[in-house]
Amino acid sequence: MDLKLEGKRALVTGGSKGIGRAIARALLHEGVRVAISGRDADAAEAAARALAAETGGEVHALIADTRSDEAVDALVADAVARLGGLDILVNNAARPGLPGKVPGVAGVESQVLLDELDTKLVGYLRTARAAAPHLVANGWGRIINISGLAARVTTTIPGSTRNVAVAALTKALADELGPQGVNVTVVHPGATRTEKTAALVAARAAADGLSEAEAERALFGGNLIGRIVDADEIGAIVAFLASPRSDAITGDAIAAGGGTARTIHY
């Protein structure tokens, strides 16, 4: 299927590694011109070079801390200048999910929650706020927010709260921007294979005396497909949502964790 993305222009925050890098790769394979951003200049530039070599596409490495209004405004302006405009924003700049074993309500520090919200929720708002005028001016655009399945289950108070908040932000943006041609969606990955997965599996295998295959199933085999989802699979979902083929979907959430047993979402 032709996703009709050839020549579109995208900014992927947190695009130097993990899910963000896989999303950038998927968009590049569809002919999108891409800017990736991160806080580490060396990592972003190395990722851009590798992605360009792998896909033959146009990739720009930009540096920004999305916890700063000024940095985000400059980031979007830089992306627009380099790409000649902007059609797609993928918000992915956030820390990975927090560990499951954390204090209950009495032990949750206020600053931890505030930091998580500033990075993920307010960071996504900052980039959407800066990008929206460019998308509206085109009469067409896409914003895809990468959240997580912690929005649908109780994990940690900061982890679940930040992801639920991103879903609420997504709907608010969709309601406002939809009539102006901009679709906004949220993707909830679950456990996803990235550069860090092999080390986690090896540590579990060593600790429990398991083979790496057994350790991986123990860690990540609890979904309905019985395996960990690969970051490239998330990239494919986002590429579709970023495309003109996805006009019928906006203001809603796509779960991408391989299926969760005994839950119904409607």
What pLDDT, on the 0 to 100 scale, is given for residue 240? Answer: 98
Q: pLDDT band for position 265 (50/70/90)?
A: confident
Return the minimum-mean-pLDDT range out of 50-54, 87-91, 101-105, 201-205.
Answer: 101-105
Distance of CA 3 to the CA centre of its chain: 20
Mean pLDDT in the chain? 95
141-191 confidence digits (pLDDT tens): 999 999 999 999 888 899 999 999 999 999 999 999 999 999 999 999 999
38-65 confidence digits (pLDDT tens): 999 999 999 999 999 999 999 999 999 9
118-133 confidence digits (pLDDT tens): 999 999 999 999 999 9
- The span from the CA of 90 to the CA of 72, in Å, is 13
Structure token pair of residue 244: 């003109």
The structural domains of the chain, with segments of one domain joined by +, span 9-191+228-256, 195-227
Is the pLDDT reported for residue 101 higher than 70? no
| b/e burial code for range 48-65 (CB count within 10 A of at least 16 → b) | beebbeebebbbbbbbbe
Separation in Å, CA 216 to CA 199, 208, 210, 223, 265:
11, 12, 9, 12, 27
Is the pLDDT reported for residue 134 higher than 60? yes
Measuring CA to CA, which residue among 115, 75, 110, 79 is closest to residue 95? 115
The CATH T-level fold of domain 9-191+228-256 is Rossmann fold (3.40.50)
Is the pLDDT reported for residue 194 higher than 60? yes
What pLDDT, on the 0 to 100 scale, is given for residue 98? Answer: 54
Q: What percent of the chain has pLDDT over 90?
A: 90
What pLDDT, on the 0 to 100 scale, is given for residue 154? Answer: 85
Is the pLDDT reported for residue 87 higher than 90? yes
What pLDDT, on the 0 to 100 scale, is given for residue 266? Answer: 82
Which residue shows structure tokens 């679940």?
160
What pLDDT, on the 0 to 100 scale, is given for residue 106? Answer: 81
Instruction: Return the C-alpha torsion angle 248, 134, 51, 185, nearest 10.
Output: -30
Characterise 205 by phi-psi region: left (phi > 0), alpha (psi -120 to 50), beta (else).
Answer: alpha
Q: What percent of the chain has pLDDT over 70?
A: 97
Mean per-residue pLDDT, 7-35: 98
Distance of CA 184 to the CA centre of its chain: 13
Cβ 115 vs Cβ 165: under 8 Å:
no
